[in-house]
């Protein structure tokens, strides 16, 4: 049950409880007042009968002397010289009034006294009808009040989801009028979104500016390293310069992905053939060895950006080769590509939260800048694909790239098979 139903139910329950308590209180008070009036009336009749008896020695209409049905409490009160009233129950409920008249005699009057009279029944019925109408009316009012509150809370929740997805929230929906707590929450979420967006944009611009500024001196450093006389010095400087240039290119790519300026160029490709070609190029250019490709079922022709798929797979393969253990197994099943190594597996925080820039793997999986898998996840988002990291059965790391289905559902590309990339 949502907050709307809970608020309406709570208000209705409190209203019903208040109506029940008020109804019982009114019923009890009206009953006490009825008893008091009946006792007072009988006490007045007793006073009149006592005057007649003391003056004439006769009994007034309805008065009795030493009535055998007189309740015991009144018998004791009359014996003590006191007057009193009493309401008896049983099969014949009556209201009594009695007093002693001397000589051990007791003068009394009584009248029938039903437990529920017509006036009491009418009052109870009116209380019941009024209570039901009140509860129903309050339930309707509570529903509309809760509906308004729930609608505003849903707008705030939707804005929070937009912020989490990196999109700007709807300022008009959040910064609406009102001075209550919900309006204050909306304005706070809007202010937080603007602050976060400004901070993220500042960070992105800073990353892009730093990468652009470093690109030129690094290029000069690479060129100057070739002029060094000692071959070992040339090799060391060139290696570090190439590493720095690769880091800068990765930073630029991350910056473009964060800015959302990348878009996929979709073309129909034979997925098994694309994966086999990527594995061969990775073995030749990135020295990723001992990789096998297996196609389960019929290969699929998918509409995707082959360059971005290659970027994703190359980064995942390079991570597996650097931090995992061979052999590396790639399984193509439908539109899914599974990459598995036999190392220690991905760190738990990477599996739970996804890759983060400059967050390196666990010590047992080596070192790095944490940009390769970050870029892979960003490129997968551009493709509309899903990239998941987890643990393989039997140990090792497993990355699963699920490409979106083509609008026409994809066509078979051929029978399954396997290919193995040899070591460098």
Question: Is residue 400's pLDDT more than 90?
Answer: yes
Question: Domain check: are 255 and 330 in the same one?
Answer: no
Question: Is residue 408's pLDDT more than 70?
Answer: no
Question: Domain check: are 197 and 110 in the same one?
Answer: no
Q: Locate 236 and state its tokens.
A: 């060391």
Question: Domain check: are 273 and 362 in the same one?
Answer: yes
Question: Domain check: are 294 and 336 in the same one?
Answer: yes
Residues with Cβ within 8 Å of residue 176, at least 6 apart in sequence: 152, 183, 186
pLDDT at 102: 80
Question: Domain check: are 281 and 301 in the same one?
Answer: yes
Question: Domain check: are 347 and 278 in the same one?
Answer: yes
Question: Is residue 381's pLDDT more than 50?
Answer: yes
Q: Is residue 147 part of a domain?
A: no
pLDDT at 337: 92
Q: pLDDT band at residue 222, thresholds of 50, 70 and 90? A: low
Which domain covers residue 213, as residue numbers?
188-261
Question: Domain check: are 232 and 318 in the same one?
Answer: no
Question: Is residue 375's pLDDT more than 90?
Answer: no
β-strand 291-296 against 328-333: which pairing, if any? parallel
Give the phi and the psi of residue 290 in degrees, each rounded to 5: 55, 55
Q: pLDDT band at residue 422, thresholds of 50, 70 and 90? A: very low
Q: pLDDT band at residue 236, thresholds of 50, 70 and 90? A: confident
pLDDT at 196: 75
Q: Is residue 125 part of a domain?
A: no
Of 292-296, 396-400, 408-412, the one with minimum mean pLDDT is 408-412
- Determine the Cα–Cα distance for residues 67 and 75; give it in Å rounded to an integer: 10
- Determine the Cα–Cα distance for residues 340 and 331; give it in Å rounded to an integer: 8
| pLDDT single digits (tens) 335-356 | 899 999 988 888 888 888 777 7
Question: Domain check: are 378 and 277 in the same one?
Answer: yes
- Determine the Cα–Cα distance for residues 355 and 380; give it in Å rounded to an integer: 12
More confident residue, 163 or 102: 102
| pLDDT single digits (tens) 47-88 | 998 888 888 888 887 888 888 888 888 888 888 888 899 988
Asked if residue 328 lies in contact with residue 399, where contact means CB atoms within 8 angstroms, the answer is no
More confident residue, 284 or 421: 284
Q: Which of 225, 240, 261 is the last residue of a domain?
A: 261
Q: Identify the CATH number of the domain in which residue 335 sits.
A: 3.30.565.10
| pLDDT single digits (tens) 129-160 | 998 998 888 888 888 887 777 777 777 777 77
Question: Domain check: are 215 and 194 in the same one?
Answer: yes
Q: How many domains are there within the chain?
A: 3
Share of the chain above pLDDT 70, in %: 75
- pTM of the predicted protein model: 0.48
Question: Domain check: are 402 and 322 in the same one?
Answer: yes
Q: Which of 67, 85, 119 is the last residue of a domain?
A: 119
């Amino acid at each position: 049950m949502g907050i709307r139903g809970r608020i309406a139910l709570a208000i209705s329950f409190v209203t019903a409880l208040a109506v029940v308590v008020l109804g019982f209180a009114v019923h009890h008070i009206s009953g006490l007042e009825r008893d008091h009036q009946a006792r007072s009336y009988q006490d007045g009749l007793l006073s009149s009968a006592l005057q007649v008896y003391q003056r004439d020695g006769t009994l007034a209409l309805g008065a009795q002397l030493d009535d055998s049905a007189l309740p015991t409490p009144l018998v004791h009160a009359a014996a003590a010289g006191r007057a009193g009233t009493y309401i008896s129950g049983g099969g014949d409920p009556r209201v009594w009034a009695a007093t002693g008249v001397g000589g051990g005699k007791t003068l009394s009057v009584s009248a029938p006294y039903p437990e529920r009279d017509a006036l009491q029944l009418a009052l109870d019925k009116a209380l019941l009808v009024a209570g039901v109408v009140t509860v129903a009316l309050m339930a309707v009012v509570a529903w509309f009040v809760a509906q308004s509150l729930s609608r505003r809370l849903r707008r705030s929740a939707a804005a929070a989801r937009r912020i989490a997805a990196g999109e700007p929230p709807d300022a008009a929906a959040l910064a609406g009028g009102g001075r209550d707590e919900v309006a204050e929450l909306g304005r706070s979420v809007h202010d937080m979104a603007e602050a976060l967006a400004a901070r993220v944009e500042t960070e992105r611009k800073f990353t892009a500016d730093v990468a652009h500024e470093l690109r030129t001196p690094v290029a000069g450093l690479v060129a100057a390293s070739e002029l060094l006389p000692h071959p070992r010095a040339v090799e060391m400087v060139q290696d570090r310069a190439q590493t720095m240039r690769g880091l800068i290119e990765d930073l630029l790519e991350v910056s473009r992905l964060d800015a959302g300026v990348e878009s996929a160029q979709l073309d129909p490709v034979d997925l098994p053939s694309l994966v086999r070609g990527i594995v061969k190029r990775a073995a030749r250019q990135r020295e990723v060895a001992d990789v096998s490709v297996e196609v389960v079922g019929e290969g699929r022709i998918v509409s995707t950006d082959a360059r971005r798929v290659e970027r994703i797979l190359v980064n995942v393969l390079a991570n597996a080769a650097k931090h995992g253990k061979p052999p590396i197994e790639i399984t193509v099943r439908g539109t899914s590509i599974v990459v598995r190594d036999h190392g220690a597996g991905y760190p738990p925080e990477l599996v739970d939260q996804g890759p983060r820039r400059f967050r390196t793997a666990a010590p047992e999986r080596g070192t790095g800048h944490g940009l390769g898998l970050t870029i892979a996840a960003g490129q997968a988002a551009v493709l509309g694909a899903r990239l998941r990291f987890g643990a393989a059965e039997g140990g090792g790391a497993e990355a699963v790239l699920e490409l979106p289905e083509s609008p026409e559902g994809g066509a078979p590309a051929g029978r399954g098979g396997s290919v193995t990339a040899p070591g460098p």
